[in-house]
Structure 1
């Protein structure tokens, strides 16, 4: 069987079940935690007198609405985005939210806005949430700040999270995401966040929140369209964020604006099945820093699966250090979890099983793969290092027989007489042949390509 890298595998492979994925995304509520959803395309949520909007109802679980009166009212039914109705703010309009949506800013959250800015180099506020009138800012978005074209600020607290080089801002249209973690918040524009577009958040409930301007005054009001504003009362994972942005982009005809890193920029998540991406947690066996980026096996795996795979390896780390990082993660918890830990610190191996158990139990998932501790060429069968590592492997494989993938043993099996990498000496010592290593321990590009193939086959056979 060819792995697409010129490497033929002749050992038997299990029959692979086709990956069927999960259903396409039907609505924003497919992602848990939708509490704010102002959707101008939903006529049932808009109450108007003629073309002038009186009330815009929040479809999210917090309820509430945005209201306006007199000459402040934006227009509905006069403008579209991708043939869908959008609200048109002329620079003299604004709407004020009722108190219910203000709870969003009380803790970590994700807020996605779809908009079109009609002006260039003219500062305008799309929305601004505060603790009170003349109080502290808790959320908001401003474009062309200081009259500088293509400068977008978002707020997660009073300090601006700047992006001073955002070509998507003028005139737009754009999808912007505020991604708020407990200690850091990010300013995403069309699925892209640039260096420095982050800051320290401050969370507390907003009691005033204005669409189209600043609650304290009528300067810098919005001139353009506001199509949708959707908020989740938690930090979305990377894949959830890109899925929501992709859903909204295709709905509003903005898919061409999405950064290439968003896998939904080229396919509509409303009609294409969702996919389960992968993440690798480990040491240098995952990181592969000594190989060219394209040869690192997590990258190769992504290509074989035609999915995203994140490399979260750090060379030299023990299983305890790896577990500390993995068990603090919130961005990849919904991915297939590949754990390769325990090669470093074999004499302290009593913690390996416990560390791996903690990584499996953190944000529990059935989609995980555990790879073995690896012995070097200086740790042949019978040596102290070999005995310690094989003991760890026996304990871990015994605890997780359905999720254990012994890539070490699978490669060594290829070294048997008549195999594609036959090496009688290495085979007898139960070590990996020099032909597949870059040093005494680490595999070379050919060796890691085998690992990528084994993991790919395991994932496909599981139907993940």
Structure 2
């Protein structure tokens, strides 16, 4: 009897962002990374190993931690008024990618999910559609409602797996594993900047929930698809993955 397939199957484990080099990894499902007083979050620890924790010392501006919200896992809720977390300043390279699992609970004026000035992962004002944009002119991937490659769809009261990338002047945004829009404009060089979670500085606050954010200092199609598959299956959103996605039927393994 050939027992090799048995041992190969037994040795498989689920792929996670630990299997690549991440610049920032915020995971609401991991309670050990959350510092709270009751439900108010003062710190969301970075799992990348870079100690880039997202923090908020002002009590009134701390988002809330809610249990068993999405697929039995915990999420972080921002009130859209003044809640905001901020990381230390670190490099923004000429090639990077962001994955976020999030939803809005209300519309707003350009609500910001993740900002690394001048790049904003946000939604278009009043529409709830995700976009990766240049803070200087509000252009970018997903911004146009008549985008040449399609467009993103509203995440108001709808969880979504959002991936966005900037690669040496080439921009692209994916939603639930499907490419929705591209844009071309070089805005490098960048300086080291903080990452704001749930706002841009002290404006454009996020009225909604964030389950996970992963930032990677490279743009790689295989890693992007693994991230999407990992996040979708973990958070119970695998049914949203686009047809033909390599992980629409099974999560990624190693």
Task: Say yes or no: TM over 0.5.
Answer: yes
Query: Residues of 2 paired with 1:181 and 1:23: CA distance?
Result: 32
Instruction: Output aligned runs, 1:399-438, within 5 Å.
Output: none
Paired residues of 2:121 and 2:133 also in contact (CA < 8 A):
yes
Paired residues of 2:67 and 2:73 also in contact (CA < 8 A):
no
* 1:333-381 CA distance string (max 9 Å, x none): xxxxxxxxxxxxxxxxxxxxxxxxxxxxxxxxxxxxxxxxxxxxxxxxx
Structure 2 gaps, min length 5 = 146-150
Q: Does 1:152 align with 2:130?
A: yes
* 1:64-109 CA distance string (max 9 Å, x none): 211112210000135621111110111121111122xx32x22211
Paired residues of 1:180 and 1:201 also in contact (CA < 8 A):
no
The count of corresponding residues between Structure 1 and Structure 2 is 237
Query: Residues of 1 paired with 2:94 and 2:130: CA distance?
Result: 23
2:39 matched residue in structure 1: 51
Query: Residues of 2 paired with 1:34 and 1:177: CA distance?
Result: 14
Query: Residues of 1 paired with 2:53 and 2:241: CA distance?
Result: 29
The structural deviation recorded for 1:122 is: 5.8
| Counterpart among 56, 61, 71 of residue 82 in structure 1 | 71
Q: Does 1:229 align with 2:187?
A: no
TM-aligned CA distance change 1:121 to 1:45, over 3 Å? closer
Query: Residues of 2 paired with 1:115 and 1:29: CA distance?
Result: 21
Query: Residues of 2 paired with 1:156 and 1:263: CA distance?
Result: 30
* Greater per-residue helix proportion: 1
* Greater per-residue strand proportion: 2
Paired residues of 2:104 and 2:209 also in contact (CA < 8 A):
yes
TM-aligned CA distance change 1:240 to 1:162, over 3 Å? closer
Query: Residues of 2 paired with 1:40 and 1:182: CA distance?
Result: 31
| Counterpart among 141, 148, 151 of residue 162 in structure 1 | 141
1:191 matched residue in structure 2: 177
SS in 2 for 1:64: coil
Query: Residues of 2 paired with 1:157 and 1:123: CA distance?
Result: 11
1:38 matched residue in structure 2: 26
* 1:7-58 CA distance string (max 9 Å, x none): xxxxxxxxxx98x79944342121x321210111111111111110011111
Q: Does 1:200 align with 2:185?
A: yes
2:229 matched residue in structure 1: 246
The structural deviation recorded for 1:199 is: 2.7
Paired residues of 2:22 and 2:217 also in contact (CA < 8 A):
yes
The structural deviation recorded for 1:162 is: 3.3
Q: Which has the larger Rg? A: 1
| Counterpart among 58, 61, 66 of residue 49 in structure 2 | 61
TM-aligned CA distance change 1:141 to 1:39, over 3 Å? same
Query: Residues of 2 paired with 1:150 and 1:191: CA distance?
Result: 18
TM-aligned CA distance change 1:267 to 1:83, over 3 Å? same
Query: Residues of 2 paired with 1:230 and 1:158: CA distance?
Result: 24
Paired residues of 2:16 and 2:227 also in contact (CA < 8 A):
no
SS in 2 for 1:127: strand
Determine which structure has greater relative contact order: mean sequence separation of CA pairs < 8 Å that are 6+ residues apart, divided by chain length. Answer: 2
- Report the RMSD for the aligned CA atoms in angstroms: 2.5
The structural deviation recorded for 1:158 is: 4.3
TM-aligned CA distance change 1:177 to 1:201, over 3 Å? farther
Instruction: Output aligned runs, 1:67-216, within 5 Å.
Output: 67-68=55-56, 69-78=58-67, 80-92=69-81, 93-99=83-89, 102-103=90-91, 105-120=92-107, 123-130=110-117, 137=118, 139-143=119-123, 145-147=124-126, 149-155=127-133, 158=136, 160-163=139-142, 164=145, 165-194=151-180, 196-203=181-188, 204-215=190-201
TM-aligned CA distance change 1:183 to 1:247, over 3 Å? same
Query: Residues of 1 paired with 2:157 and 2:66: CA distance?
Result: 21
The structural deviation recorded for 1:120 is: 4.4
TM-aligned CA distance change 1:161 to 1:79, over 3 Å? farther
* 1:284-304 CA distance string (max 9 Å, x none): xxxxxxxxxxxxxxxxxxxxx
Paired residues of 2:14 and 2:251 also in contact (CA < 8 A):
no
SS in 1 for 2:251: coil
TM-aligned CA distance change 1:202 to 1:25, over 3 Å? farther
* TM value normalised by structure 1: 0.47
